Amino acid sequence: MDLPAPLRTVGAALEATGFHPGRSGRDHLRSLAATHRIPDARADELLELVGIPAAARKRAGGYSMGMRQRLQLAAALLGDPQVLLLDEPANGLDPEGIRWMRGFLRHLAHDQGKTVLISSHLLAEVEQTVEDVVIIANGHLVREGTMDALHGEPAALVRSPEPELLVRALDRAGLAASPLPEQGPDALQVRTPELARVGEVALATGRPVHELRGMRTDLERLFLELTDTPEHRNRNLGAPHTPAPTNPEETSR
Amino acid sequence: MTALVRSELIKAFSTRTAWAMPLAMFLVTALFTAIGGFFLVYAELPVAGTTIRARDTMDEAVLVRMVYTGAVQMGYLLTLVLGILAMGSEYRHRTLTATLQAVPRRGRMIVGKVLGLVVVVLVNGLAHVTAALLAGGAVLLSADLSVAPDPGDLVLTMLRLLLVLVLWGLIGFGLGVLIPNQVVALFVGVAFAFIVEPLLGFGITFWDAVADAARFFPSQATMSTLNIFDGADAATTQALGGAENPLAWWAGALVLLAYAALMTAVGWLLTARRDVA
């Protein structure tokens, strides 16, 4: 499909985009704006918005990674598009910049109603920013859903020196518990969001508890689990066990 | 399309090349026009035991044209570079991704770039013409020769000079599209225009069957377009380095344009289906 004015429909900040080192960031924006007859004032307004109005008048060769990210974001917003496509927007930002970026993207999505698509490997950062997640491994969709759905059912992790006895006690109280060997021989997983009930059962039955905390599947763990199958392992890293199947049907869900 | 040209002009005039190139053009042109002019006006040739002045062997009109166009090779070398940079810097600094996001149709992008480049080359061409007139005029004055024996012819020669510079800019652009690596494109362009092509053009004059083809070579076509030897007889023309049977000035221009168009078209075909980065 041909868009007559693509910058007004979708704004993209792709990792591959660069800047001429001898051209100022402001002139870079102006040259892009000119293609859509967007006035220079809009470029200045955006530079103000992303926080680099003064620096953008200097040559881009001396820009830090964070400034480049902000400048790219400004370029993507030139046509005030409804959809934003950002590749690794937090890469190279300092902690303050990352917090700013998070807030700014939320503002664009919530207050201005834009659709913001982010591709990223910084899973902890993504977890704090997004609502919907799509996990792609080697070009194949392996999971999609809302952040809450991907987190799965909340559970409790409890540690006790007498795990078998505690499982039975919890069972009698109507709480499903099972051993969690990857967390150690004394760890149990209890399928409930109510940590207090687990604690009360342990106290009532006299079982010592060494640790009790909420457990959620975080994005990083989910990602590693989902991509740890031979067909979804990163093919760029080679195949440690079996070669990835070349027939796409074998990898379909 | 005016919007695209404006975008290209913002790009062209927002880096140091914007003023450094016309400045270099002015200085180089003045220097080479002066050196070439002094040779034409003052050199003496040994003939049959005595010496005659080189300028006495040629028509005044030819002499004046040769003096004023003496730096054309340096001029078109620089506009060749400008043309290569117009495309090459987009690849080199990976700004092409952003450019194509704004202008996804590559054909429109290329037309916008070509039109923008013509303006840039004309600005540089004015620096070239100004320096050529100043330096060439000074040389002629110093020898008590008329600065402009035929003003109409002088204007025409300067316009043809501008045309040649624009055409070489377009050839550079074609090279930049054809060879995405800017450094390689610059090397190939300069090496070909200054070493390979003149040697080749000289070499094939010894091979009768194809000797005539030399007049279609870029440097010979350039000389034809400038129409320097208009009015001189064939012997003088050849003695001064002109082709034996030169193309008409407009045919020379069309040959140069064809080189530019061919390279742009082939480059476009090769890159149109290719990922940018």
Decide if A241 is inside a domain.
no
What number is the average pLDDT over the span A92-113?
90
Q: What is the pLDDT of residue A220?
A: 78
Residue pair A27/B18 in contact (Cβ under 8 Å)? The answer is no
Chains A, B: CB contacts within 8 A come to 68
The string of DSSP letters for A38-55 reads --HHHHHHHHHHTT-TTG
Residue B43's CB is within 10 A of a number of other CB atoms, namely 11
Helix count and strand count (H, E) for chain A: 10, 9
Q: What is the pLDDT of residue A3?
A: 82
Residue ranges of domains in chain B? 2-270
Same domain, A177 and A192: yes
What number is the average pLDDT over the span A187-214?
89
- Residue among B4, B6, B14 minimizing CB distance to A27: B14
CATH number where A57 lies: 3.40.50.300
Q: What is the pLDDT of residue A237?
A: 67
Interface test with A, best of B95, B99, B109 (most A CBs within 10 A): B95
d(C-alpha B127, C-alpha A98), whole Å:
49
Least confident window among A7-11, A13-17, A44-48: A13-17
Residue pair B176/B263 in contact (Cβ under 8 Å)? The answer is no
CA angle A95, A98, A103 (to 5 degrees): 130
Decide if A101 is inside a domain.
yes
Q: What is the pLDDT of residue B277?
A: 56
Instruction: Tell the burial category of A40 from Cβ atoms under 10 Å away from its Cβ (0-12, 13-18, 19+).
Output: middle
Same domain, A33 and A111: yes
Q: What is the pLDDT of residue B241?
A: 66
Interface test with B, best of A1, A3, A23, A58 (most B CBs within 10 A): A23
Q: What is the pLDDT of residue B265?
A: 87
Residue pair B107/B115 in contact (Cβ under 8 Å)? The answer is no
d(C-alpha B188, C-alpha B170), whole Å:
15
Percent of chain A with pLDDT over 90: 31
Q: Total structural domains in chain A?
A: 3
d(C-alpha A150, C-alpha A61), whole Å:
42
Phi first, then psi: give them for residue B210, nearest 5 degrees: -115, 5
Q: Which residues of A touch B97 (CB under 8 A)?
A: 14, 16-18
Decide if A249 is inside a domain.
no
Same domain, A34 and A87: yes
What number is the average pLDDT over the span A56-77?
91
Same domain, A139 and A162: no
Q: What range does the domain containing A229 cover? A: 135-150+217-234
Least confident window among A46-55, A198-207, A242-251: A242-251
Decide if A240 is inside a domain.
no
CATH number where A180 lies: 3.30.70.100
Decide if A251 is inside a domain.
no
d(C-alpha A83, C-alpha A77), whole Å:
9
Least confident window among A194-203, A234-243, B36-45, B255-264: A234-243
Chain A residues interacting with chain B (CB cutoff of 8 angstroms): 2-3, 6-7, 12, 14, 16-24, 27-28, 30-32, 34-37, 75
Q: Which residues of B touch A19 (CB under 8 A)?
A: 93, 95
Q: What is the pLDDT of residues A33-55, one digit of tens each?
A: 999 999 999 999 999 999 888 88
d(C-alpha A66, C-alpha B42), whole Å:
63
> Averaged in consecutive runs of 10 residues, what is the pLDDT profile of chain B (277 residues)?
93 93 96 94 81 79 91 94 93 90 88 95 97 95 88 92 94 91 92 86 76 82 85 70 76 92 86 69
The string of DSSP letters for B201-243 reads HHHGGGSHHHHGGGGGSHHHHHHHHHTTTTTS-HHHHHHTT--
